[in-house]
Amino acid sequence: MTAAIGTQARTGERCPESGVWKVVGYPTTTAPIARGNVMPPYNGQAVTWELTRLA
């Protein structure tokens, strides 16, 4: 099953779907993250990531 665009995951969780993920909030960034990898922190902080594009 493929995760939908807009799916969210927190730092430390396993990535549910390979694609381009964006940090929710400010400052923001995007990163390609593969399914099964651990969602990373950003600027040393735990953040919420949102799926913006499928790989």
Q: What is the per-residue pLDDT across 6-18, written as a single tens digit (0 to 9) for each?
A: 999 999 999 999 9
Question: Residue 27: its pLDDT value, please?
Answer: 93
pTM above 0.85?
yes
Give the mean pLDDT of 22-38.
Answer: 97
- Give domain status of residue 2, yes or no: no
What is the tally of structural domains in the chain?
1
Which amino acid, 22? K
Cα radius of gyration rounded to whole Å, the chain: 10
Contacts of residue 26, defined as CB under 8 A and 6 or more positions apart, other chains included, come to none
Please determine, for residue 1, whether its predicted confidence score (pLDDT) is greater than 90: no
Question: In a 10 Å sphere around its CB, with 0-12 CB exposed, 13-18 middle and 19+ buried, how is residue 20 labelled?
Answer: middle
Contacts of residue 7, defined as CB under 8 A and 6 or more positions apart, other chains included, come to 16, 17, 50, 51
- Give domain status of residue 45, yes or no: no
Full residue range of the structural domain in which residue 27 is found = 8-38
Give the mean pLDDT of 17-40.
Answer: 97
